[in-house]
Structure 1
């Protein structure tokens, strides 16, 4: 039986951070460490690789609504978001089954090549889903201000 948002909100009050989502780019060679759900967004369209939007989106990032819409309109993006938000909810709801003591939080690491567009947009969307379920959530963007990487 899947827990309802009400069930989870009594276990994890909104002011309690139960999930930390970190976006990053694999091309920077300093990924976050620790145990985490790993979300790979490299299968999604990358705005700087698309000549139709490259100039408009090149110097922006996944916090920009236009970039976020572009990434989320890629086939498979919604599935990546919902599937990983559901995994986090299940881990939080069933922690007694997984360990001797309940988890204090679930970390999610969201990756793409450069850490500016796809990983940022997907991390933010996962956070929206978790917050809607009453989960306190923090999002960190490790490489959002780094330069665009060459191919």
Structure 2
């Protein structure tokens, strides 16, 4: 379902990464931010009106628990596979993408100018699960003709020692 569709990314700020956007087809753009709760809720999530916050800390096994995965991120194929192969992961991501898609018509009906639907995906450190899920959501939204930007706010932070 996700083979060959992962976009490129560029560094943003000290700790962030911006994934190259999928071309928007709708009047409403979705901005998906991944972050780690252990770094605190980012200003981008706390201040910007966010229509959907997805907390995956307790939903899926944390790749960080495997020492060989700690320095990797959700941009690495082995981490993507680790997260997406967990029971219920694909169904969960599809359901969240469907929920996001339902926000788009309502937002575009409210105002004539292009609008933004803000979505935040948080895991513990912001390097593994939230990254994979944020990018998978963008892929599914793109398949539905909904443009999105993905911003990984904590992906380049040092690994959290727990």
Tell me whether 1:46 sits opposite 2:62 in the alignment: yes
Q: Which moved more, 1:57-66 or 1:27-36?
A: 27-36
How many residue pairs match? The answer is 134
Q: 1:1-150 counterparts in 2 under 5 A? A: 13-14=24-25, 18-31=29-42, 32-33=45-46, 34-36=48-50, 37-42=52-57, 43-50=59-66, 54-55=67-68, 57-95=69-107, 100-101=110-111, 104-150=115-161
Which of the pair is proportionally richer in strand? 2
Residues of 1 paired with 2:100 and 2:62: CA distance? 25
Cα RMSD (Å): 2.2
The higher radius of gyration belongs to: 1
What TM-score comes out, normalization by structure 1 length? 0.79
Q: Is the 8 A contact 1:19 1:138 kept in 2?
A: yes
Q: Extract unaligned runs of 5+ from structure 2.
A: 1-22
Please give the per-residue CA displacement for 1:82-110, whole angstroms capped at 9, x wherever unaligned: 1111111111023377xx53671211100
What TM-score comes out, normalization by structure 2 length? 0.74
Residues of 2 paired with 1:66 and 1:96: CA distance? 38
